[in-house]
A = this chain, B = another copy of it.
Amino acid sequence: MTDTARPPRRTEIRQHNETLILQAAEKVFAEAGFGGATMQLIADMAGLPKANLHYYFPTKEDLYRRVVQDIFEIWLHAADSMDQAPGPIEGIGAYIQAKMEISRRHPNGSKVWAFEVMHRAPVIQDYLETTLRAWTTGRVRLIERWIAEGQMAPVDPEHLLYMLWATTQHYADFGHQIETLNAGPLSDVDWQKATDSVKTMILRGIGAL
C-alpha cells in the first residue's frame, strides 16, 4: 500500500489538525462554556502549540462557531428515520432511538448546544430562525397528519417535540447528575433500559400504544 507510506498531502495535514482541534475544543467548550474555555487548554489537549490553533482558526469565536455548527448538522440528520415512517410508533420510536444514541456518543456536543442556547444563541440565532424553524414546522405537520389519521391522541405537536428534545438530551446534558445518582457510568444495559423507558412512556403518553 503506497497510500499509507506516502507522506500526507497538505490538505490532509490541514484536515487532520482541524479534526484534532475540533475534538479538543468540543470537550473544553462543553466542560467550561465559551467564557471559561481557554485556547491554551484546547491547544494542550490537542497536543499543539497555541499559535497553531490561531493558524487554523483565527479567533476563539471562529473555533466555537465551527463546533456548534458541526453539532447542529448531526442533530438534523437524526430525524431522517422519522420521516418515512408509516406511523408514530415507528417514527417517534426511531427518533428517540437516534437521539438517545447521539446523547451517548456525543454528550459534549449536546452540552455545547445547551450552552449556546442558554447564552441566548449569539452565534446560531439565524439557524434557529431559519433551519430549525423550518424543520419544526415540517414535523408538526407530520404529527398533525398522524393525529388526523387516528394513529395517536390529539396532543400539541410542538410540546411533544419539546418533550422529545428535553428527555433525550437530558441524558447527555445532565449525564453527570445521572451518573452520580447511579453511582457510576451507565452500562450498555442501563442505556437500553433508559431508551426503552423513554420510548414506552412517551409512546403511551401520546396514545400510540
Contact = CB atoms under 8 A, between A and B. Distances in A.
Contact of A36 (B34, B153, B201, B205): B34
Q: Output the residue of A136, A169, A177, A178 with the most chain B CB within 10 A.
A: A177
Contacts of A70: none
Nearest to A110: B118
A165 B114 CA distance: 15
A204 B153 contact: yes
A206 to B, nearest CB: 6
A194 B159 contact: yes
Contacts of A129: 180
Given A121-B180, A181-B133, A204-B205, A197 B115 contact: no
Interface in A102-129: 111, 114-115, 117-121, 125, 128-129
A171 to B, nearest CB: 7
Number of copies of this protein chain within its complex: 2
Interface string A139-156: 000000000000001011
Interface size class of A (residues with CB under 8 A): 35 or more
A166 B125 CA distance: 23
Contact of A163 (B115, B118, B132, B167): B167
What are the nearest 3 A-B pairs in CB distance?
A35-B36, A205-B205, A33-B33
Given A33-B115, A129-B180, A165-B170, 15 more contacts: A32-B35, A33-B35, A34-B36, A117-B173, A117-B176, A117-B177, A121-B176, A125-B180, A133-B180, A159-B193, A160-B197, A163-B170, A163-B198, A202-B205, A205-B205
